[in-house]
Amino acid sequence: MKLLRYGPPGQERPGLLDDQGCVRDLSDHVSDVAGDALTPEGLAKLRSLDIDDLPVVFDVSRLGPCVGRVGKFICIGLNYADHAAESGLPVPTEPVVFAKWTSAICGPDDDVQIPRGSVKTDWEVELGVVIGQGGRYIEEADAMKHVAGYCVVNDVSEREWQLERGTQWDKGKGCDTFGPIGPWLVTADEVPNPQELNLWLEVDGRRFQNGNTRTMVFNVAQIVCYLSKFMSLQPGDVISTGTPPGVGLGQKPPLYLKPGQTMRLGIEGLGVQTQKTVAA
């Protein structure tokens, strides 16, 4: 299934994308694409529905974030060896963990705001992992059972605030609109191998990132297992798993976003995002 949320900010309704590319309304069956709806039982209930009986939504002027009421937005840094190299940092021996504030979350095609005073706002296409079955101290062998599905994430980052202002990454990662997610949450049964997905990003039509999740330092199962040692994972938590090389920081000379540009990014089978950059 490709689950989604549509409508104005704060008023999104749950839906799914059918095989013909039409949005179907799920409001009579779940209140949101969130929480219990993403557990194995919740997804089984949605799979049992006859899609042809669901109302077609004819006016989809905006897609919202594909997961609602996100409790935790957890990120893994430097998870592609070649991205670590372009950042001038060693390949980590354990996952680098940081957070994006949930107020950073926005729709896949919403504008991205360049914060006031920012001169180093950057882009990062990433595979998002959405937790379905919660848990703590999850064994790596069982980790994939806890994944509801996957989505595209743009881990927008302000590099000066991340790296030059006390090296507290969270300051440069959690600004408003710095977390577009979607367009869809693609359930895990439709992604046979999350470690074989092409991902890419363009700015103003120029391709900067072109990678594959097979080159992750730590794979999805390892990440879920690792994080569960330090926190309980809960249905609807989103994990952003790191970015391949090609970010603005790694260009020679570095290249950063300005208002009036267009980012376009996607992951094989998970959809495409398009964002305009605007001044905050």
Please name the fold of domain 73-279: Fumarylacetoacetate hydrolase; domain 2 (3.90.850)
Residue with the two structure tokens 């990678």: 211
User: Has residue 167 got a pLDDT over 80?
Assistant: no
Q: What is the pLDDT of residues 16-49, one digit of tens each?
A: 999 999 999 999 999 999 999 999 999 999 999 9
Q: What is the pLDDT of residues 199-217, one digit of tens each?
A: 999 999 999 999 999 999 9
For residues 159 and 89, give the distance between their C-alpha atoms in angstroms, rounded to a whole number. 14
Cα distance between the two ends of the chain: 35
User: Has residue 91 got a pLDDT over 90?
Assistant: no
Reported confidence tier of residue 245, pLDDT bands at 50, 70, 90:
very high
According to the model, what pLDDT value does residue 81 have?
83
User: Has residue 154 got a pLDDT over 90?
Assistant: yes
- pTM, two decimal places: 0.97
**What is the average per-residue pLDDT within 216-245?**
98
Q: Are strands 125-131 and 238-240 parallel, antiparallel or unpaired?
A: antiparallel
For residues 243 and 79, give the distance between their C-alpha atoms in angstroms, rounded to a whole number. 7
Least confident of 126-140, 156-170, 185-199, 219-233: 156-170
For residues 112 and 265, give the distance between their C-alpha atoms in angstroms, rounded to a whole number. 13
Round the average pLDDT of the chain to a whole number and report it.
Answer: 96
User: Has residue 239 got a pLDDT over 90?
Assistant: yes
Q: What is the pLDDT of residues 42-90, one digit of tens each?
A: 999 999 999 999 999 999 999 999 999 999 999 999 899 878 777 787 8
According to the model, what pLDDT value does residue 89 have?
76
- Please state, for a pLDDT cut of 70, what percent of the chain lies above it: 100
Handedness of CA 209, 213, 219, 221 (dihedral sign): positive
Asked if 18 contacts 28 with a C-beta cutoff of 8 angstroms, the reply is no
The H-or-E segment that residue 41 falls in is helix 40-47
Q: What is the pLDDT of residues 252-277, one digit of tens each?
A: 999 999 999 999 999 999 999 999 99
Residues of the chain with CATH 3.90.850.10: 73-279
Contacts of 140 (CB under 8 A, 6+ apart): 221, 222, 224, 225
The H-or-E segment that residue 46 falls in is helix 40-47
